[in-house]
Amino acid sequence: MKPIAIKKGITIEELPGEIIAYDLGSHRAHCLNRSAVEIWRCCDGTMTVEEIASRLHQQIGLPKDPELVRLGLEQLKAARLLEVESVEPAADPPPSRRAMSRRHSLAAMAIPVVTSIAVPTAAMAQSRRGGTHPPQPPHPPNPPRPPRPHH
Amino acid sequence: MNELVLETHGLRIAVRSNSAMLLEQLRNRTASVAAQSSGTPQLSYTIEERRGESGLSYAIRCGTGRMQRSTTPREALDAVLRRMQLHVAEEAPDHIFVHAGVVSWEGKAILLPGRTFSGKTSLVVALLRQGAAYYSDEYAVLDRCGKVHPYARPLQVRVAGGSRLWTAHMLGAEVGSGPLDVALVVFAKYHLTSCWQARPVSPGNALLRLLANTVCARKRPHEALACLRLVAVEAPAYVAMRGDSGDAVKPILDLLARDSKVGRKL
């Protein structure tokens, strides 16, 4: 199967080596590290998992391992950044990031990672007052001090 | 009904009340973040003081809709202020409001993002005691260039059974005056038994965490992302576990010193 990325309704903010993909429909935001970004970019419906693995090997020097790609695809699928039908259901769950890191002696940063959050509504983000005890009641104010020199 | 129109961050809000005392208190509470205005308001609140058999009560409305009833003037004022703040934080046309404590240290801004009860204010108080200048205990107000502006409302310090309002001057601290570049972002989580532990996070991860604390993130995602990107790319960011806020001050300033070479040892 040839995975297809979902790009409609997704707004992208590019950072050095990462991107933030914001799903305007579900209001979920995802941070893709470099490997995950490269996999996602390859998902144009023309490449198989093996071909994507070769492309990643050429472009960013990742080991030519389809399992590494599947690990990224699983995360992208969970983040709803891939057309579900375009991804072959895995017979076995892909190896963990740690296992993959050990297998190829890769730095953790080289393993594809997609981190997701549900973007809060304004009310959810709003601070409340009172209610429960504070995490740590501070001491009462000190007497006023002479002003510090301005820096 | 008496009316007070406040203007802040490009928005005008009217508060009407039959209690002149309440409006006076409101004016005092908002003096550091809003100016009085004579313009046409875009939103209005009403606080009606009512005398009943069980004493005074306060009916609060937003526009023509009913909002809530309070039994004390302080509660009524807090409720209106909370809603006003939220409205401004979500609708301010030229700024992005992120839930965060903010102080400046030697002209560099430190952002301490966090939701309610994450201990933002106690960390801000601890930094002010060591000589930092006060910017906010509630919102990092970011402009389109990613600079942070003061939102120096009185610090709302939680104490057993409620909260108290302190000014920065009561803590011997100065209030910041102008916009600053963000030099450090620390996502510090409080735990009673924790010792300080911090690890750096990537710009993307920092942006995601900032977004989770941004009031207008859903309403204006493009603007929020563009603004937060500037902060995330420019300022080093750390995730930290902390115990006592006083114990977190030195490590935070050490991070600032390490990353910007301008900090100083306590």
- The complex's ipTM? 0.85
Segment among A129-133, B38-42, B57-61, B111-115 with least mean pLDDT:
A129-133
At residue A141, the pLDDT reads: 52
Dump strand ranges (E) for A70-146.
114-118
**Three-state secondary structure of B205-249:** HHHHHHHCCECCCCCCHHHHHHHHHHHHHHCCEEEEEECCHHHHH
Residue type, B28: N
Instruction: Check whether B156 has a pLDDT greater than 90.
Output: no
Answer yes or no: do A135 and B119 touch at CB < 8 A: yes
Q: What confidence tier does B165 reach under pLDDT thresholds 50, 70, 90?
A: confident
Answer yes or no: do A122 and B215 touch at CB < 8 A: yes
B167 Cβ partners below 8 Å, 6+ apart? B154, B155
Taking alpha carbons only, the member of A116, A118, A49 closest to residue A81 is A116
Q: In this structure, what DSSP letter does residue B152 have?
A: -
**Domain residue spans in chain B?**
2-91, 96-258
Which residue of chain A comes nearest to B217, CA vs CA? Answer: A119
Q: 3-class SS at A69?
A: helix
Segment among A105-119, B36-50, B205-219 with least mean pLDDT:
A105-119
Chain A CB within 8 Å of residue B18 CB:
no
Which residue of chain B comes nearest to A31, CA vs CA? Answer: B204
If 0-12 CB within 10 Å is exposed, 13-18 middle and 19+ buried, where does residue B221 land? buried
- Write the pLDDT tens digit of every residue in A69-123: 999 999 999 999 999 887 777 667 777 777 777 777 666 667 899 999 999 988 7
Q: How many CA atoms within 13 Å lie on the side-chain side of B9?
A: 25
Q: In whole angstroms, what is the distance from residue B206 CA to residue B199 CA?
A: 12
For every residue of B44-55, DSSP letters joined together read EEEEEEEEETTE
Instruction: List, as ranges, residues 199-238 from B with C-beta within 8 Å of A.
Output: 202-205, 207-209, 211-219, 221-222, 225-226, 229, 232-233
Instruction: Check whether A17 has a pLDDT greater than 60.
Output: yes
Q: 3-class SS at B119?
A: coil
| CATH topology for the B96-258 domain | Rossmann fold (3.40.50)
What is the model's pTM? 0.86
Phi, psi of B173 (to 5 degrees): -110, 155
* Average pLDDT for B233-237: 96
Among partner residues A22, A125, A143, which is closest to B213 by beta-carbon distance?
A125
Among partner residues A15, A129, A148, which is closest to B207 by beta-carbon distance?
A15
Chain B CB within 8 Å of residue A141 CB:
yes
Segment among A122-131, B21-30, B163-172 with least mean pLDDT:
A122-131
At residue B69, the pLDDT reads: 87
Answer yes or no: do A31 and B205 touch at CB < 8 A: yes
- Write the pLDDT tens digit of every residue in A54-82: 999 999 888 888 989 999 999 999 999 99
Q: Which residues pair with B6 in a beta bridge?
A: B13, B36
Phi, psi of B8 (to 5 degrees): -155, 135
Of B75, B87, B116, B120, which to mutate for an interface test with A (greatest number of A Cβ within 10 Å)?
A: B116
Longest Cα separation, chain B:
65
Instruction: Check whether A125 has a pLDDT greater than 70.
Output: no
Shortest Cα distance, chain A CAs vs residue B263, angstroms: 12
Among partner residues B131, B163, B233, which is closest to A148 by beta-carbon distance?
B131
Higher pLDDT, B64 or A38: A38
Residue that the structure tokens 């009185």 belong to: B154
Q: In this structure, what DSSP letter does residue A85 have?
A: G
Instruction: Check whether A28 has a pLDDT greater than 90.
Output: yes
